[in-house]
A and B are shown apart, each in its own frame.
Chain A
Amino acid sequence: MASIHIDGSPKTPTVSFDESTGQLELKGRSIPENSIEFYKPLIDWIDKYARDPKPRTSLRVQLEYFNTSSSKCILDLFKKLELVRSSGNEVTVLWHYEQDDEDMLEAGEDYQAIINIPFKMIQIEEVDGTK
């Protein structure tokens, strides 16, 4: 299967899902009106990846903003990754938040409470996303 690389836009994040390394990344902003349209191919990709995953998979989430319509789609991504983990592989979510952005930290903790994957909370100075 092919890796996914999508450039960011003012409303959608930069996506990099690398099949050969198991390193996945979402970065920038996720505030489209129709999130399902944007996320469906990503969710399908992980679904396929889960059939023959790398022993170690990480998802780096480095978002400056995301809307509530994206939040359900992001949850679905995590749920697909749960499947990768439950088949005996190592999966980690690296959740980034800007240093004074406790709302983004809380959002990460909320997912952590729902999803059965280890989260690492990583404080950064600023998300160098697209504007």
Chain B
Amino acid sequence: MVSRVFDLYDELEKQRIMLSFKGDLSSDLVTSLLGLIERKMELIEPDHRVRKRVFNVVMECLQNLYHHNARVSVKDGEKVRTEEPQGVVMIAHDDRGYSVLTGNFMASDEVKGLKAHLDRINGCEPEQLRELYKETLSDGRFSRVGGGGLGIIDIARKSGRKLEYGFVPLDNENAFFSLNVNVTA
């Protein structure tokens, strides 16, 4: 493994990753990562609006990781759901702008719904996205974690670009969800 450290570093460097984290995500760690990103953005990004948009996207993405993580196992024929705030986040910066990449585990049977939500968002023009946001905000539903489906709509609004995503099936019950959000000036 020790021989791989440089390769890992080199790969992160090539991908222009300015921050990467993989592991358990606690509330305190979310705060620390946000603080780190905020200070770094102040140093490298002169455009205040871009700084705020990147911060907003990172904040929503980290909270998605914090809230939406499930590993499903089958015990005695019953599906058992364990919440594990585990995930990976990487923030890349190159000449074109910023990419916020996240990955987390999820239950396979929720993939279809999430994909439909993402496709609907990607099919919206900015004004339609704003209407969808207002509609979702005012429909009075609260999800378990309070956001009620607003998070990804907000991420798409702040990004201004189409969301890139993928699902990797792991076994019958679990999948891995990856999301790439671009933020450009």
Interface residues, chain A, with chain B CB atoms under 8 Å away: 10-11, 31, 33-36, 65, 67-69, 71-73, 75, 98, 100-103, 106, 110, 113-114, 131
Contact = CB atoms under 8 A, between A and B. Distances in A.
Given A11-B31, A33-B30, A103-B53, A71 B137 contact: yes
A131 B41 CA distance: 14
Nearest to A10: B31
A100 B49 CA distance: 7
B66 A69 contact: no
B48 A68 contact: no
Contacts of A98: 48
Nearest to B64: A68
Contacts of B153: 68
A110 B137 contact: yes
B48 A36 contact: no
Interface in B101-154: 130, 133-134, 137-138, 142, 145-148, 150-151, 153-154
B59 A65 contact: yes
B172 interface: no
Interface of A, secondary structure class, is helix
A65 B60 CA distance: 11
B182 to A, nearest CB: 16
Interface of B, secondary structure class, is helix
Interface of B: 27, 30-31, 34-35, 38, 48-49, 52-53, 55-56, 59-60, 63, 66-67, 130, 133-134, 137-138, 142, 145-148, 150-151, 153-154, 157-158
B137 A33 contact: no
A71 B150 contact: yes
Contacts of B52: 65, 101, 103
A101 B52 CA distance: 8
B55 A33 contact: no
A65 B55 contact: yes
Given A10-B35, A103-B53, A69 B145 contact: yes
Given A65-B55, A68-B154, 15 more contacts: A10-B31, A10-B35, A33-B30, A33-B145, A67-B60, A67-B147, A69-B146, A72-B146, A75-B138, A100-B48, A100-B49, A103-B49, A110-B130, A113-B134, A114-B134
